[in-house]
Amino acid sequence: MTRRKRAARRPTAVGIILCLVCGVLLAVASFVIEAHGGLHGLPSWAQLYEWFGVPLDGPDADMLAQGDATVTVFDVGQGDSVLIGCEGAYCLIDAGTPDAADSLVAALHAAGVRRLDYLVMTHPHADHIGGMAAVLQGLVVDTLLLPDLSATESTAQLEEVLGQAELAGVDTVTAETGQEYALGSGRLTVLLAGLPGAAAEDLNNASLCLRFTLGQFAFLDTGDAEEPEEEALAARWGAGVRCTLFKAGHHGSSTSNSDALLALARPQAAAVSCGLDNDYGHPHAEVLDRFAAYGIEVFRTDEQGTLTFSAAADGSWQLLEKTAESEELAPAA
């Protein structure tokens, strides 16, 4: 018995109209929530994400308004993603793992961040660019700052990021050592654009090393730079790597966070971005011991979740927490 194939159903005029109407209604609802969410009984994005079970762990708009600047180290599992905010201007350094892409974008939206002045790729490993295409799709990005990719073997993930940036018309810049960018009243400096030739052999040592400064406050992010690049960074800048807050290199690995760097950087605190019970054993015990020897206070995303620090131009800082009952902001104990 021969079965006849069913003819594919063509969309009817009514179906097309319904799709258009639904699209318009969703756009209007999105605008209303963006403009008035949290007021007059209307839910905010954060509330909606909670109701629909979207896992969120991040700051809200009130937290990002604290102090003169904020630094948020997102919990993206065994990966990196750091948001620097200053006077309504934002820079996102890296975008975590592919698994964290949706929750990262949702967390940025819930915090009221819809536009990034800069999106920075320290180096094209999956745990740093996994959510970057999603960020480029979900937010307006003015500038994408890249390491030198000329000698880097391309991957489907990297091509997706670059393709999405081109599609969105984002200004793409290859970073160079010594470049400076304004972020609010603060300044973002490319201290080192990777070790020469490292991209062909060891992408970790091709990491962009960045320093954000605002008055007496400084934040240092070295991506996954390992000891050879850290030594080059220290040799070039000396005390110019001094910082208040340090994003621990390479998720707290013993291949990074060297004495050569720490002796000059002298951070008051280090934020370790790593996954709970990760296979690498990050952060390594010897690194934690090294931090303790230098009197560096340690904060960890695997134990504490997303970390948001407020900072003042006088160099003072605090870790912010939001109480579940009152949603009031308070410094962490």
Question: Tens digit of pLDDT for each residue in 19-69?
Answer: 566 555 655 555 554 444 444 445 544 445 544 544 457 899 999 999 999
CA distance 160 to 273: 24
Edge-to-edge strand ranges of the sheet holding 317-322:
171-174, 140-146, 115-120, 89-93, 82-86, 69-73, 307-311, 317-322, 329-331
DSSP reduced 3-state for 193 = strand
User: What type of residue sits at position 285?
Assistant: A
pLDDT of residue 293 exceeding 70, the answer is yes
Question: Domain 58-331: what homologous superfamily?
Answer: Ribonuclease Z/Hydroxyacylglutathione hydrolase-like (3.60.15.10)
User: What type of residue sits at position 204?
Assistant: N
- Look at residues 66, 65, 68 and name the one whose alpha carbon lies nearest to residue 314: 68
What are the domain boundaries of the chain?
Answer: 15-53, 58-331
- Dump pLDDT digits (tens) for 198-250: 887 889 999 999 999 999 999 999 999 999 999 999 999 999 999 999 999 99
What is residue 102's predicted lDDT score, i.e. its pLDDT?
95
- Look at residues 90, 177, 69, 165 and name the one whose alpha carbon lies nearest to residue 124: 165
Helices (H), 52-181: 61-64, 101-110, 126-129, 132-138, 156-167
Residue 289, classified by CB atoms within 10 Å of its CB into exposed (0-12), middle (13-18) or buried (19+), is exposed
Mean pLDDT, all residues of the chain: 88
37-46, 204-213, 279-288, 318-327: the lowest-pLDDT one: 37-46
CA distance 89 to 295: 32
DSSP reduced 3-state for 310 = strand
- Cα angle value 67/69/72 (rounded, 5°): 110
Name beta bridge partners: 63.
Answer: none
- Dump pLDDT digits (tens) for 108-125: 999 999 999 999 999 999
pLDDT of residue 157 exceeding 50, the answer is yes
DSSP reduced 3-state for 92 = strand
pLDDT of residue 189 exceeding 90, the answer is yes
- Decide if 265 contacts 243 (C-beta within 8 A): yes
Provide CB contacts within 8 A for 98, sequence distance 6+.
Answer: 126, 130, 131, 157
Name beta bridge partners: 145.
Answer: 120, 173
CA distance 299 to 278: 16
CA distance 47 to 37: 9
CA distance 302 to 275: 5
What is the 8-class DSSP label of residue 32? H
- Decide if 138 contacts 112 (C-beta within 8 A): no
